[in-house]
Amino acid sequence: MIDHISLAVRDLAGATAFYEAVLSPIGLTRLETRTTTVGFGKRYPEFWLNHRPTMTPRPENSGVHVCIRASDAGAVDAFHRAALAAGGRSEGPPGLRPAYGKGYYAAFVCDLDGNTVEAVTFLAAPA
């Protein structure tokens, strides 16, 4: 249904380094680099960073939220650790979120520009 997602970032090099670390545990790698954009994915670029150097930082609770499916709980855990190590902020540590559905295991982080990114896996089939 959705082909790709793009996030605006002020510092393309910094954001690229952040997302290389954060997306690696969930199986996405940098596949394309252009002058003002970088694309990550598994087989094709499905997650893009777009350079917007004059963008003002996003306020907390701005509504920007992207969720990426992870293969298992270990990948969700590694995603969260990598984000914190790369300068991101936790918006919710790895764990079950029963309010979101049976087996919904996720972690939420805020990137260097205020975008919220989630990694999720399902430990059991949703009810």
In the chain, the domains with their CATH numbers are 5-122 (3.10.180.10)
Confidence grade of residue 125 (pLDDT, cut at 50, 70, 90): low
Mean pLDDT of the region 38-53? 97
Q: Could you give the percent of the chain with pLDDT greater than 70?
A: 98
Picking from 114, 116, 73, the residue whose alpha carbon sits closest to that of residue 95 is 73
